[in-house]
Amino acid sequence: MKVSTVPQNQTAFRTSAPICRLPKNSIRNTICQKPSESRRSGRGSLHCMSAAAVGIEKEEMLSSTPDSLLRERSAESEGIRGRFERIIRDAQNKICAAVEEEDGEGKFREDAWARPGGGGGVSRVMQGGKVWEKAGVGVSVVYGTMPPEAYRAAKGHTNTPNGASNGASGGVPFFAAGISSVMHPHNPFAPTMHFNYRYFETEEWNGIPGQWWFGGGTDITPSYINEEDLRHFHGTYKRVCDNHDPSYYPKFKKWADDYFLCKHRNQRRGLGGIFFDDLNDRPQDEILAFSTEALGAVTESYLPLVNKHKNDPFTEKNKEWQQMRRGLYVEYNLVYDRGTTFGLKTAGRIESILMSLPLTARWEYCPPIDPTSPEAELVEACTNPREWA
């Protein structure tokens, strides 16, 4: 039997409601002004404010998408900041166009927003498409100051920066630009994919020297193992890595396997890919070139797999398993993901931060798994990572 929804007699949870559509009496007390014209035309505006967030800086929704999210300083636009922004804005356009073409029906909603402390972003989300249940591609360029605990979230450090424990006041001056995406298909045999590429700077603060680094990666989360798919995906990124440094792929593949470990489950979120962070061991231009090529390989590595499996027949059991794997995806993103925790600690735009969550997910109490089943094969591969390229 082929199905396309979660069975009515089973429990599933919507993890992301439509943006700002809550009743007037809602405990969030969200106030919304709907766009006067189509968001896709770039006109109109949407203003949302949660009463619970009045005490923090709240993003301002923009009526049109700006050409640049940088400060109006020529040095910034011509330097590494401007180059990286142009790369990620161009990638957002190309990837969204390719995904819409593959889906055939779904369209991305676009929201542009400004951060009062500096910068802003462009979020594009498709919900309820023909192929993808939910897909999001977000770009952000933000700057200002951040508390030391947000610095630790960005760097993945557990120690306090020098000066923060000596009564130093104020926040750490920073600049961060990045593109992030997660795509959740309807079909359980079509994998979920995530990518994130970012550039980060801090300025001198209380005796701490300024720093810069790149981070990012692309990874895949199937519900069922297809070895040909995994060889294609990992092989694509091994080739990208080898073009820049033969040591990159084995190092970044292991880094992904370690980083995406959901510790309380002792399982990886998926079947990996590449991941790197705090990368500043060679000239900026060299790392920028690598990040650009890796970002450019997203559609080549992923869309052929979706095209291959989007019409595969599947059963209720297959769909339930996909929903349970998405439950683990939610757990990982809210507990361990560095970008999510950084966004929450810096009062970022909540809809953009949680864009990565699937539209639906499922949690069962002690679900039985046949040790000879394809489901058990996936769990084994997520517990003990394998080599695919």
The one-letter amino acid at 347: A
Long-range contacts of 52-59 (CB under 8 A, 24+ apart): 52/28, 53/347, 56/347, 57/115, 57/116, 57/117, 57/347, 58/116, 58/347, 59/113, 59/114, 59/115, 59/116, 59/120, 59/348, 59/349
The dihedral through the CA atoms of 95, 100, 101, 103 has a sign that is positive
Cα atoms found within 13 Å of the Cα of residue 99, Cβ hemisphere only? 31
Read off the DSSP letter of residue 343. H
* Tokens describing residue 53: 């967030």
> Which candidate in 157, 184, 186, 194 is catalytic?
194
Cα distance between residue 286 and residue 307, in whole Å: 33
Q: Is 186 a catalytic residue?
A: no
Cα distance between residue 276 and residue 215, in whole Å: 5
Alpha-helical regions (H) of 215-366: 227-242, 248-259, 284-296, 298-309, 316-335, 338-345, 350-353
**Measured in Å, how far apart are the chain's first and last C-alpha atoms?**
35
Name which of 241, 283, 247, 276 is nearest 259 in CA terms: 276
Cα distance between residue 196 and residue 326, in whole Å: 19
Cα radius of gyration (the chain): 21
Read off the DSSP letter of residue 209. P
Enzyme catalytic residues: 194
